[in-house]
Chain A
Amino acid sequence: MRRVGPCRLRYTVLITGTGEETMHRAILAAGLALALAASAEGADQVKVGFISTLSGPAAAIGIDIRDGFNLALKLSGGKLGGLPAEVIVTDDQQNPDTGRQIVDKYVKRDHVDFVTGIVFSNVLLAVAPVVFDSKTFLISTNAGPSLLAGEKCSPWFFSVAWQNDGTPESAGKYTADKGFKKIFLLSPNYPAGKDMVAGFKRYYKGVIADEVYPRLGQLDYSAELAQIRAAAPDAVFFFLPGGMGINFIKQFSAAGLGKQVTLITTAFSADEDIIPAVGEPMLGIYNTGFWNHDLDNPESRAFVAAFEKEYGRLPTGYAAQGYDAARAIDAAAREVKGKLDDSEAVRKALRANTFRSVRGPFKMNRNGFPIQNYYLRVVERDAKGRITNRTLSTVLKDHPDAYAEQCPLK
């Protein structure tokens, strides 16, 4: 059942795993020393309110973002911008209500400097007014609703992930380029789900056999699969993150539709959180995303190696997002030399984004969303025999989102 109230795990996050206790005390001592020494100057620590979906069918997403974030924190010695970091981690249970209450506490009681970690667009939209009203920065590690990209863009919002439409736009372009004629669209009935369909349709102009929006969190696709069979499309484009995607692909394969219908999707239904759960039916699925673990740039390679060493698994795009979030905050805090009270300076620093992202080319647009590449990938066996994604080509290069024009910010 949905828990009535938020549950909180409060800890100063330095490293996950062993050695936390001693590191904790050491950093606490260092922090105290720093605090005493630097009390005349700006803030003595960076406080981050991390709220994510850590339970339920999409838990793997939040856990990956958290693990990526923690890894970056560990690699910088538990510091952000040279100051000791305090990160409060709470589970929003994929519930906008709960999310709002948690963030209320973050800004009113804990007075955090940054709120980050959110996975789902409906939670983000419920939480955003609270964060913006309290003049706190919201760093999105996943959700990128179109509602916050256009007219209602906010100077307090920055995304180190993507705007929702971007990934499906690249999928739509691939679908159009490949010559598919009849597409069946499947996406959950919530803001991000609709953004995904809108993005796809912006580049794919062919026939749409049907558009179906199952409930967010739905796990049984028997009805939708029957409709797909009846509509007989060339391909199905679907956006079903987390457990939804796992179930859909498994049931699609069990229904024997793979012979007649191709599956095209985004990285959200084909990444390292889905592949181990589904297995062989994943082979051959084409998908698009802003990053892959085989990208050839020094930051990415270092990140993937460190992640595999720390957690024993390949990182998903979500982990990369969490990792970049910590590094973005780190770079911004460093830029303003710890004076986090100066919001304008922090904003300028975040806009300039002086950190090197694992995705390579990355510029911050004026509405707070990235301008970046989107790649085509396919799921196949790699040299080690693992089932994983291989990057094939760049579908959209230095691609801004479709709503930035309407944003009045400079």
Chain B
Amino acid sequence: MRNRLAIGVLLLLIAFPLAAKHWDQLFYVSFASRILIYALAASSLNLILGYGGMVSFGHAAFLGTGAYTVAILMDEGVSSAWVSWPLAFFVSALFALVIGAVSLRTRGVYFIMITLAFAQMAYYLFISLRAYGGEDGLNLATRSRVGFGLDLASDLTFYYVVLALAAACLYLMQRLLNARFGQVVQAIRDNETRMEAIGFPTYRYKLICFALAGGAAGLAGALLANQNGFVSPNLLQWTQSGTLMIMVILGGVGYLYGGVLGAVVFLVLEEALSAYTVHWQLGLGLALLAIVLYARQGLAGLLADAVAGRR
């Protein structure tokens, strides 16, 4: 049932830009790319937060690192996506590995605080890099080159590339979660002491999960840099980490499409509401508060309940 729904949505997403082009609303294709990129970023956070039980308050640092990798490489003359995008993934994953190695030795609220500390360190590091714009940010001369006659400067082409990557990553995430590795990670989330007692090296599993999520966020960052054509240290601010967490909780922590749903709802609401009022964040705050207090499972959870209830 869920897979059929997913395929249906995918087909819709493939058809959508063609319709947009027909009605000369290409701006919304660009908007959709943005949603997909944040869906990927939020899903990567969902992996560690929802499935891994690791409340990381510094996830924006990996998003920003990936974005900066692409921007800095482009500034130095390397504009091939085949080089910079995988590199963005690996640099972020490595960064996450280092941060995770230290942070995962702590527990509970200390873990939240230490991930925040590392993210802030990264933020100030990029501010100090005046050679790459510092606080004013860095423009990307062009979008990354993919070859094969595809020009990413076209919003339509870029959208399909983003869609392909996001779909692929989500598919891989699903496979990972259903495989042994994912099952172990979820079991650790449920009861780490028991898993340790059984003999699993819980630290190692969590660390790998953390690194993978960091890498995925880095890839999202690379795409975001291309989407915006601009990177700045604001990408790494703690409020950005907060935004990603909001998306995950809105969508549903621990549900496969929680990150996707959260990103869609958040960005669409932002776009729709900000056209009416300057104070749209009031509505967002109230909605978030309501969800945290009364609907902990988020939208995906409510939907799942509704579907289950109907049957």
A–B: direct contact at CB < 8 Å: yes
Given the interface pairs A3-B281, A5-B271, A5-B274, the reply to whether A125 lies near B243 with Cβ below 8 Å is: no
| B137 close to A108 (CB less than 8 A) | no
Say yes or no: A4 contacts B134, CB within 8 Å: no
Residues in A with CB closer than 8 Å to B230 are 96-97, 100, 126
For residue A281, which residues in chain B have a CB less than 8 angstroms away from its CB?
Answer: none
Q: Are A97 and B232 in contact (CB under 8 A)?
A: yes
Please list 29 pairs of residues, one from A and one from B, whose beta carbons are closer than 8 Å in the complex, sorted by A's number: A1-B239, A2-B237, A2-B239, A3-B281, A4-B239, A5-B274, A6-B274, A7-B277, A8-B274, A9-B278, A91-B278, A95-B234, A96-B136, A96-B137, A96-B230, A96-B232, A97-B228, A97-B232, A97-B235, A100-B230, A108-B30, A109-B25, A109-B27, A125-B136, A126-B136, A126-B137, A126-B232, A191-B136, A216-B135
Type the 1/0 row for A310-348, where 1 means its CB is closer than 8 Å to any CB of B: 000000000000000000000000000000000000000
Chain A nearest CB, measured from B281 CB (Å): 6
Indicate whether A10 reaches chain B with its CB closer than 8 angstroms: yes
Decide: B278 and A130 in contact? CB cutoff 8 A: no
Contact at B243–A108, with CB atoms within 8 Å?
no
Q: A7-B277, A105-B27 are in contact. List 9 more A-B contacts (CB 8 A).
A: A1-B239, A2-B234, A5-B267, A6-B274, A96-B232, A97-B228, A100-B229, A100-B230, A108-B26
By beta carbon, the residue of chain B nearest A90 is B274
Cα A395 to Cα B243 with chains together (Å): 51
Chain B residues lying within 8 Å of A96, measured Cβ to Cβ, are 136-137, 230, 232
The total of Cβ contacts below 8 Å across the A-B interface reads 65
Known contacts A7-B278, A100-B228; is-contact A190 B30 (Cβ 8 Å)? no
Main DSSP-derived SS at the B contact region: helix
Shortest distance between the CB of B77 and any CB in chain A (Å):
18
Q: B130 CB to closest chain A CB, in angstroms? A: 8
Q: Which of B11-63 contact A (CB under 8 A)?
A: 25-27, 30
Query: Which residues of chain B are within 8 angstroms of A215 by Cβ–Cβ distance?
Result: 135
The 3 closest A-B pairs by CB, nearest first: A109-B27, A122-B136, A108-B27
Q: Which of B25, B135, B228 contacts A101 (CB 8 A)?
A: B228
Contacts of A125 in B (CB 8 A): 136, 139
A189 CB-CB contact with B under 8 Å: yes
A234: Cβ under 8 A from any B Cβ:
no
Q: How far apart are the CA atoms of A97 and B233 in the complex, in Å?
A: 10
Tell me the minimal C-beta distance from B95 to chain A in angstroms.
22
Q: Report Cα–Cα, A3/B239, bound state, in Å.
A: 9
Alpha-carbon separation in the docked complex, A2 to B239 (Å): 8
Is B306 an interface residue, CB under 8 A from the partner?
no
Nearest A residue (CB) for B240: A4
A206 interface residue (CB < 8 Å to B):
no
CB-nearest residue of chain A to B138: A126
Check: B270 CB closer than 8 A to any chain A CB: yes
Assembly CA distance A4 to B228 (angstroms): 14
The contact string, 1 if C-beta is below 8 Å from chain A, for chain B 248-276, is: 00000000000000000001001100110
Chain B residues whose C-beta falls within 8 Å of the C-beta of A100 in the assembled complex:
228-230
In the bound complex, do residue A7 and residue B280 qualify as a contact, i.e. CB atoms below 8 Å apart? yes
When distances are taken between beta carbons in the complex, the residues of chain B under 8 Å from A95 are: 234
A190 x B135 contact (CB < 8 A): yes
Residues of B within 8 A of A101 (CB): 228
| CA A368 to CA B280, docked complex, whole Å | 38
B25 CB contacts on chain A under 8 angstroms: 109
- Bound together, the chains give a CA A99 to CA B271 distance in angstroms of 15
Neighbouring A residues of B139 by C-beta, 8 Å: 125-126, 129
B243 touches A104 (CB 8 A): no
Residue of B nearest to A9 (CB): B278
Which B residue's beta carbon lies closest to that of A121?
B136
- A125 to B278: give the CA distance in the assembly, Å: 25
Interface string of A84-104 (1 = CB under 8 A from B): 000000010001110011001
How far is B137's CA from A100's CA once the two chains are assembled, in angstroms? 11
CA distance A6 to B271 in the complex (A): 8
Interchain CB contact under 8 A, A5 and B270: yes
A residues near B237, Cβ cutoff 8 Å? 2
B74 CB to closest chain A CB, in angstroms? Answer: 13
